[in-house]
Amino acid sequence: MRARYEYPFSLIIIVLILSLAIPGTLGAITIYVDDDAVGDPCQTGSVSYPFAAIKDAVLAADPCDVVLVADGSYTGPDNCGIEVSIPITIESAGGPEVTIIDCQASLADAKRAFYFYGSASSGAILDGFTLENGLMYTGGAIVCDESASPTITNCIIRNCQAISLGGAIACISDSNPLITHCNIYGNSVEDYGGAIMAWASSPIIKNSIIAGNKSSYGGAIACLNQSETEIYNCTIVQNRADPVQGSGGGIYCAYDNTDVLITNSILWENTSAGIRNQYALSDDFVSLTISYTDIQPDMEVIIIVADDSMVVLGDGNIGSDPLFVSLGTWNVGGEWEVNGDYHVHVNSPVINSGDPAYLSDNVDIDGQPRVHGGRVDMGADETITIDIDGDGRVDLSDFAVISQEWLLTDVVSHADFDSDGDVNLADLVIFLESWFWPIPTI
């Protein structure tokens, strides 16, 4: 009888030894951070005794752990210069509006928020923060280096500065992050990429608004030296390259074998060098392929220095005013002053004008369902109308969607017209008010 228990017992010992030898196999844990814990001598990262600083939590994390950050304003050296080299999730509990990492940097005290490095960090996720007031030589808010390819999502990055590369985000040395559902505005760099710079790297940028950033080359984005950048459903608007000698108010591509793909996007009111160009190409073997994108026509100036470079205008591009709710403003000193509202009016040509073959990305920058109306929109926003199926009529087929989702809570629904996460009487009232009337945006 005794022998029956020897094998399971041995197995348990082996499993325990392996578990101790391989970090993370005992199960991912959540490490808590709350700025209100400052001064607490018992900080362990538990829910009852959270760390006060994000850097302490990241240092304590093992692969696959989650660092969960409470609402608050995070400042000081323990909340900036946070280095991430393993696949962990750093997320806010309440979203970017209430979870702010303020670097408070200056030329005398240069710092940025995050430095992702090494391929082991490629499963890392940064979700739900405002990053502001960083200042560094490269990457004012975030650097991805040495094959780091994290996901950066649901973040606001504003008022950050770099001297040379990437006012907000710099991707260098084969780093290929996914940047999605971000609002990147009011950042600047002296040289390349007011918001994002890719150097020998291939970021994917989706569902994001990039507005009011400035540089010498590439007011919004600069793709350099064998970078292959893909841009989907982005609203790239009112960015500036240098007004005297810069190029590429929107996007600048340069140096060997750099390719940029843009689709389902809006390029509007990007300016540079007095010639208000949306994009510029320079140097050998550089290509820019654009499809299903709204490109401001009177600003579409292409600079091609070398014969080997080319712009490929694919299917579905338009050049009509996207009818933003409002544009932002630069002040006379050349600083980004007020953000625009880059939602669009109901009769905007960007609604239902994206690639008809586009597959759902789940939600737009507002967290509303994408695709809506039967076809994806151009830009970061998907406009929700009560004509749910986009057939031009508000009728029983639209009402059927409301019926199917009726009284569901905490959902992403085409029938959640007031965007509160619930499908209920308030949404039905909005629907019935417009029955047989012109279709409003929500």
Which residues of this chain interact with Ca ion, rule CB under 5 A?
352, 364, 366, 368, 372-373, 377, 381-382, 387, 389, 391, 393, 398, 416, 418, 420, 422, 427
Separation between Cα atoms, residue 379 and residue 48, nearest integer Å: 42
Q: How far apart are CA 74 and CA 363, in angstroms?
A: 28
Min dist CB 428 to Ca ion, Å, is 9
Shortest Å, Cβ 409 to Ca ion: 9
Amino acid sitting at position 331? N
Beta strands in 77-200 (DSSP E): 82-84, 89-92, 99-102, 114-117, 125-127, 130-132, 135-138, 142-145, 151-153, 156-158, 161-165, 169-172, 178-180, 183-185, 188-189, 196-199
For Ca ion, which is the closer residue by CB, 61 or 386? 386
Q: Which whole-number Å values give the CA distances from 248 to 2, 47, 151, 222, 311, in the listed order?
A: 78, 48, 26, 8, 13
Give the shortest CB-437-to-Ca ion separation in angstroms. 13
User: CB 159 → Ca ion: shortest distance, Å?
Assistant: 25
Q: In the bound complex, what is the minimum distance in angstroms from residue 356's beta carbon to Ca ion?
A: 11
Q: Is 408 exposed, middle or buried (0-12, 13-18, 19+ CB in 10 A)?
A: middle
Closest CA to 344 of 318, 369, 323, 372: 323
Q: What is the nearest approach in angstroms of Ca ion to the Cβ of residue 386? A: 8
Measured from the CB atom, the residue of 94 and 374 that comes closer to Ca ion is 374
Minimum distance from residue 436 beta carbon to Ca ion (Å): 12
Q: Which is nearer to Ca ion, 228 or 364 (CB)?
A: 364
User: Which residue's CB is nearer to Ca ion, number 181 or number 276?
Assistant: 181
Other Cβ atoms less than 10 A from the Cβ of 407: the count is 8
Q: How far is CA 405 from the centre of its chain?
A: 29
Q: CA of 335: how far to CAs of 53, 187, 329, 433, in Å?
A: 31, 9, 9, 43
Residue closer to Ca ion, measured from CB, 174 or 364: 364
Q: Which is nearer to Ca ion, 83 or 418 (CB)?
A: 418
Looking at the Cβ atoms of 44 and 397, the one nearer to Ca ion is 397
What percent helix, strand, coil does the chain show, rounded to 5? 15, 35, 55
- CA–CA distance from 191 to each of 112, 288, 363, 414 (Å)? 18, 21, 34, 43
Helices then strands (H, E): number in the chain? 4, 37
> What's the min distance (Å) between Cβ of 385 and Ca ion?
8
Alpha-carbon separation of residue 267 from 112, 220, 221, 271, 324 (angstroms) = 28, 10, 12, 11, 12
Between CA 210 and CA 290 the distance in angstroms is: 17
Q: CA-to-CA distance for 59 and 76, rounded, in angstroms? A: 16
Cβ closer to Ca ion: 228 or 377?
A: 377
CB 292, min distance to Ca ion, A? 12
Q: Nearest distance from residue 140's CB to Ca ion, in Å?
A: 28
Residue 403, helix vs strand vs coil: helix
Query: Whose Cβ is closer to Ca ion: residue 91's or residue 387's?
Result: 387
Based on CB atoms, which residue is closest to Ca ion, 83 or 389? 389
CA-to-CA distance for 33 and 49, rounded, in angstroms? 9
